[in-house]
Amino acid sequence: MTNVLLKTGFNFPGQKSLYQGKVRDVYNIDDQYLVMIASDRISAFDVVLPRGIPYKGQVLNQIASKFLDATADICPNWKIASPDPNVTIGRFCKIYPVEMIIRGYLTGSAWRTYQKGERVICGVTVPDGMKEHQRFPLPIITPTTKAAEGHDEDITEAELLAKGLIPAAEYELVKKYTRELFNRGTEMAAQKGLILVDTKYEFGKGADGRIYLCDEIHTPDSSRYFYLEGYEERQARGEQQRQLSKEFVREWLMANGFMGKEGQQVPEMTDTWIKEISDRYIELFEGITGEKFIRAENTDILRRIEMNVLGFLKT
């Protein structure tokens, strides 16, 4: 198989800390910059799977970079530069411990909750009689707390504010940004014949006291897309929607008895399956951006990244 980037262990000038998330490694450079490296790790059900996916990190980083640029007029974001296909460097922010999930359609985990008879999701009441993949009258915000390990947890707005995870006035602005970003993402998806079904955003506070959009945006790891063509017809017939997201990975895991629960084993990920996932991620890139994906040189990914990051830090 092609080389994959599973782990980094750099020691950059001015480096104060390294945070290793499920997919990204984030370096704090002297409380001035964050160097975010998108690895080829893949997670599902909040579990990092045992094998990496070639070019996945590049796909995620380059989609996020494109959408950060395309939404900078809505709210300030953390990005300063992307000196490497797998790397974005941005301003240091203190990240709120909350993921702002916004849903335009009843699908995924929200549908699974709905099927159990629940009609209140993260404090938001949803109508009776809805079908899977049906559009909500208005998009709903269903935040989760960010877990350092294990599963993220659903939380209501009232609980979030009571715990002081985000001050009330700042949360109002974060909600406003979330809705406006989702609207822009929806418009951009429609131009590519897609529906932005749901997504998540993360925000943080910079040294200047401003709120910034951080991390990734509108990638297949943070978002779900349907194909616009045929959506209404499939919905009317009660058929599954054609998706452009990593939901196919979750579906494969569920079909093989894995949902991240204690005692469950990740099914074997064969070379053929790894290649299929890689091909699907590249298809996602091309579908979402409308651009041809150019595979980066990956004979020595770590060396390439180190040289490109050092080149930026010296400027």
- As averages over each run of 10 residues, the pLDDT of the chain (315 residues) reads 88 96 94 96 92 97 97 98 98 96 95 95 95 97 78 89 96 98 97 96 96 94 94 96 87 94 94 95 93 95 98 92
Cα torsion angle, 62, 184, 246, 280, sign = negative
Q: Which two tokens stand for residue 268?
A: 């074997």
Q: Which two tokens stand for residue 126?
A: 């949803």
CATH number belonging to domain 15-93+278-313: 3.30.200.20
Identical fold for domains 15-93+278-313 and 95-237, yes or no, is no
- Distance between CA atoms of 194 and 210, rounded to whole angstroms? 32
- pLDDT in the model for residue 296: 97
- pLDDT in the model for residue 295: 97
Residue range 95-237 forms a domain whose CATH class is alpha beta
Which pTM does this prediction carry?
Answer: 0.90
Q: Where are the domains of the chain?
A: 15-93+278-313, 95-237
